[in-house]
Amino acid sequence: MLKNGKGVILNVASVYGMVAADQRIYGKSGLNSNIAYAVSKAGLINMSRYLASYWQGKNIRVNSLSPGGVYDNQDKKFVENYKNKTMLKRMATPHDLSSALVYLVSDASNFVTGFNLVVDSGWTSW
């Protein structure tokens, strides 16, 4: 990217890099994320900011995308618990995330760097 004089880096983080997992929604589903997941996702968010600052002026943009839960035929009780924590009352679809991803890597966001785009149906806004 330095050699080409431009580039875009997008790190995929998670809402659990920003807020703690709400253990109450998981019940006995076995889906609980562990502490290593949260730590690594928080690290990706701040690494993105750091790299955006480090490469400032070099025409390299660095951002992160923090999705909420994506529906993938999870346990019905878990899905209901999850949906009740979101403002739009649903989990994400792959399309919800791909649209955000395309924005961050395209020229539509050519003035965006050091940013963490949260796509979570309002999960982290409560």
Give the residue numbers annotated as catalytic, written as ranges.
37
Please state, in angstroms and rounded to a whole number, the distance separating the CA atoms of residues 93 and 42. 23
Please state, in angstroms and rounded to a whole number, the distance separating the CA atoms of residues 27 and 36. 20
Please state, in angstroms and rounded to a whole number, the distance separating the CA atoms of residues 91 and 71. 5
